[in-house]
Amino acid sequence: MRKLFIVLFFTLLSGLVNAQKLERIEPMFWWAGMSNPKLQLLVHGANIASTDVQLSYPGVKLIKVNKVESPNYLFLDLEIAADAKAGKFPIEFVQGGKRKLQYTYELKNRESSPTRIQGVTNKDLIYLLMPDRFANGDPKNDVVKGMRETKLNRDSMYYRHGGDIQGLINKLDYLKDLGVTSIWITPEIENDMPLVSYHGYAATDHYKIDPRYGTLALYKTYVDKAHEKGLKIVKDIVHNHMGTGHWFYTDLPMKDWVNQWPAYTQTSYRDEPVMDPHTSEADKKKMLDGWFVPSMPDFNHRNPFVQNYITQNHIWWVEYAGIDGLRLDTYPYNDPDYMKDWAQKIKAEFPTLSIFGETLVHTAAAQAYFTGGNTVSRGFDTELPGITDAVIKNAIYEALNGKSGWTDGIFRLYATVAQDFLYQDANRNVIFMDNHDMSRFYSMVNEDIDKYKSGMALLLTMRGIPQLYYGTEILMKNYSNPDGLVRSDFSGGWPADKSDKFTAAGRTPKENEAFNFVKTLANYRKNNPALQTGKLMQFVPENDMYTYFRYQPEGTVDSDRGKTVMVIVNADDTAKNLETSRFAERMVNVSSATNVISGEKLNTIKTIAVPAKTTLVLELN
């Protein structure tokens, strides 16, 4: 009897171990009429690989069932005919001729509204914010039971503070009034990590909004409401890595889903081995395959299942929400061949979508290496339209803070702009003064309000797509060591805040001075094609002053509407007079000018007085 009991026990246990359970299918739904007829579904569930898969739906064919190292995964290759109709159909998981599990899959119709996926271009001003630090619109989701981080502590820069998507929705009118036309938030997908989960760059679920920010439906509402107000949306995406708390890191589909090393190996953070024609392959591998930090496993982009998963996820988000642009985190750390393939597939589905990659390298040549059109140096086209232009940022800082020399001070900025020949189109680059990883601009100019205004004037009149970091318009300050200090809360975003910086009454006189300066110039830019799509002509700096013009050439669509704008930079500590005769080719028949910020009219422009540490923005009449 005892022997029989033992046999029955282990028979039952074996049955439990082999039992199937369907945890998820991703993407959880798709669309009819996509450009690429191929779709690969990731199926995850206990021992799901022991089943056979069946489906029957007109226009949808199951091409192959891929079994991988883990018995808890299947990858289903589907082909969706061009004439397949939207609808629902069952995917059945069968064992021994009997259906064990079933998932109802849905093909949806694509939305065809002309206001969807508008693209973010040099006509726009991007506002970058961290949702956890901007505004708290729903205190009920501040702490979510069951998540690894359960502390809410606004006194610490490293815990969550409670900002969310609803808070951002509540402040859309503030952004529109400021002159912003596009919003980029740091990743909003789930980051269920035990520490520092607020920044968003260690994803633990690629198809889920972090519940402390809201829901999938609320994110879609945010995009729709922003579009209603004329605001575009940029989504921040991460190809390179995930968080160690990710559900598929705890149960890897296959060992090489991530880059494996005999011992933990961190990336060198050196971009040079990727482009160096003399590079060591070992150095290149360390840069590309090394992990960013121990808590962020590095995806193996040479794995075709990884490629399909990431690419389809990004397509899913754009189609689902109607996103206008994508910012690609840590671009140089990704496998180049995969990123080219990714770009081709994204563009095929969304020709009007805008894309720019974070490069954070140190020379214009290095930046240009990663952009589309530069086939000579690389052997193939990356098809990346634009990058985050850190080289221009550094040159502006040098112009504002440095001392003049042959290649220093204001000459650095002039020389940097002169290297725009390296890019297919420098107007697709995103220019900025700071972001969530850098010391804030106001601190970097030693809290000098004149230098601050001069830098903001350069940002909003230079070629490219300007990006403003949240709080820069109200003089938020601090340095990036440690990082959290540049990620302070926007005062007024929480009901208990002592001051509301979203309103003029809550700001100090100096903060209002800065806010009004940015607002005036941003809204002027929004209504002047010359500062958006206009050409740039610059002149060699003389007497430590740098002058450039933004203008619409005659015969172009906006040539009648676009006013010629003259920008004069005096980075010196003393006021100076600028003789304008050398600018005759851009000042033909110009008799006067208007100061865009003050509204003051200059009735004579043969000589223009430029105050110390000032960038004048003049509309020529």
Residues annotated as part of the active site: 329, 358
Sign of CA dihedral 270, 383, 230, 534: positive
Q: 134, 490 in Cβ contact below 8 A?
A: yes
- Smallest CA-to-CA distance from 490 within 127, 136, 125, 126 is with 136
Q: What interhelical angle do 216-228 and 304-321 show, nearest 10?
A: 50
CA dist., res. 394 & res. 407, Å (int): 13
* Tokens 């610490």 belong to residue: 156
Following DSSP, what letter does each residue of 284-335 receive, concatenated?
Answer: HHHHHHSBSSTTSPBB-TTSHHHHHHHHHHHHHHHHHHT--EEEETTGGGS-
- The CA distance from 203 to 205, in Å, is 6
- Is the distance from CB of 285 to CB of 99 less than 8 angstroms? no
Map residue 111 onto helix, strand or coil: coil
* Distance spanning both ends of the chain, measured CA to CA: 105
Longest Cα separation, the chain: 111
**Using the 8-state DSSP alphabet, how is residue 470 labeled?**
T
Residue 127, strand partner residues: 183, 468
Cis check: omega of the bond before 27, within 30 degrees of 0: yes
What is the rounded distance in angstroms from the CA atom of residue 104 to the CA atom of residue 579? 74
Element counts in the chain: helices (H) and strands (E): 16, 26
- Cα–Cα distance for residue pair 132/275, rounded to 1 Å: 36
**Pairing label, strands 593-595, 565-570:** unpaired
Nearest-angstrom CA–CA distance, 107 and 537: 51
Angle, helices 509-526 vs 449-461, to 10°: value is: 10
Give the whole-angstrom CA distance, residue 367 versus residue 389: 7
C-alpha of 286 from chain center: 25
Where are the strands (E) in 345-425, listed by range? 354-357, 386-387
Nearest CA to 51 out of 69, 65, 63 is that of 65
Q: Kindly report the number of other CB atoms within 10 A of residue 619's CB atom.
A: 17
